[in-house]
Amino acid sequence: MRFVDEFRDPALATALIREIGVLSARLERGRANPIAVMEVCGGHTHAIFRYGLEGLLPDLIEFVHGPGCPVCVLPMGRVDDCVAIAERPEVIFATFGDAMRVPGSRKSLLQAKAEGADVRMVYSPLDALELARRNPGREVVFFGLGFETTMPSTALTVLRAAREGIANFSVFCNHITIIPTLRALLEQPDFGIDGFIGPGHVSMVIGTAPYRFIAQEFGRPLVVAGFEPIDLLQSLLMILRQMAAGEARIENQYARVVPEQGNPAALKAVAQVYEPRPTFEWRGLGSIAGSGVRLTEPYAAFDAERRFAVPDIKVADPAACRCGEVLTGAVKPWACPVFGTGCTPEMPLGALMVSSEGACAAYYQYGGVRGAAA
């Protein structure tokens, strides 16, 4: 496939891995710990495992899997809220497939569907809007989920609904933003990350300028990366080169898709439709100020939270799970007592095991449970 195959060239990968090996060996001198690089985006986590990059790289490079998997950071109580909305008889609840199996405290959306709730899996928010057009007697609620990557598509769908006057469409808005989250991570006292692989498709929307504080205030390099193995290896090499030169800058390896200024049309729609919530609760990370958004007053009619009485349920994660520590990179999935036993992709306890972008699902699928004893 065009723009994909070129970035999977094994000869290029070999050359990059050699350079990374040489440079990391040089950087290792005088270091007590491995070089820790956080890939922020769950799509990158998945790609790293799918292509087995960790196994190809020197041991002294450690990937730490960041919080950029929207399904994984969704608190259990929000799933309960979704189920409560979906179980209303007048509602068709439309969601991306990723969210279907995330466990709530009572049930997942998939279980709710099996019990008779009208839950539909959609590819696009536009498909949810089409459901509203075709079912004028029903209330269609779209589960708006994801970082800046999916924020514009939900916003543009709301604008479309407003333009067409589709009154039976609303959004249960659980969109979240990455910048306050990265700041919260960096402000942790013992945050041992040397550099970041920046999220490619979030950056396609927001551009590269919002990351500058990471280099300027926290002295860490960040390289915005594409999703093919060559992209990831080249980005890692760019981070190591900055470290070797004693620099911390924001670089863009994924310039074929990410313009430095982001996408003006997408940002305009986002600014029109959303405003920050004072605070938003994340699974494993607690509440982070300014990290979530809700619909602005002019689009209040499309806000499912105002249209229905959403219970706003708060539930603690299962006590045995260590999702929070895995999300912040403090422990590997293998360190969790229920990994691969009480929590599997078939019967997940924690959300990190649900999405293919979740760190636990990636470890399980590609790494097996072999590390569990380690």
Judged by the rule CB under 8 A, the positions of this chain that interact with another protein are 1-4, 6-7, 9, 11-12, 14-16, 18-19, 22, 25-27, 41-43, 46, 68, 70-71, 96, 98, 123-127, 145-147, 149-150, 152-153, 156, 160, 199, 201-202, 204-205, 227, 230, 234, 237, 244-246, 253, 255-259, 263, 265-266, 269, 355, 357
CB of 203 to another protein, least distance (A): 10
Spatial contact of 57 and 343, defined as CB atoms under 8 Å apart: no
Closest CB to another protein among 8 and 88? 8
Shortest separation between residue 244's beta carbon and another protein, angstroms = 4
Output 270 or 343, the one with its CB closest to another protein: 270
The set of residues, in sequence order, having a beta carbon less than 8 Å from that of 83 and lying 6+ positions away, is: 104, 106, 107, 108, 109, 112, 117
Alpha-helix runs per DSSP H in 248-335:
264-273, 304-307, 323-327
For residue 284, the surrounding DSSP H or E stretch is: none
Q: Which is nearer to another protein, 86 or 145 (CB)?
A: 145
Q: State in angstroms the smallest separation of the CB of 39 from another protein.
A: 12
Nearer to another protein, 88 or 160 (CB): 160
Residue 96 CB, nearest approach to another protein (Å): 5
Give 321-324's long-range contacts (Cβ < 8 A, gap of 24+). Answer: 321/349, 321/350, 323/72, 323/283, 323/284, 323/350, 323/351, 323/352, 323/360, 324/283, 324/284, 324/285
Q: Which two tokens stand for residue 153?
A: 């598509």
* Radius of gyration, CA atoms only, the chain: 21
Q: Tell me how far, at minimum, the Cβ of 15 lies from another protein, in Å.
A: 4
Q: Are 336 and 372 in contact (CB under 8 A)?
A: no
Task: Considering the complex, state which of residue 152 and residue 348 has its C-beta at the smaller distance from another protein.
Answer: 152
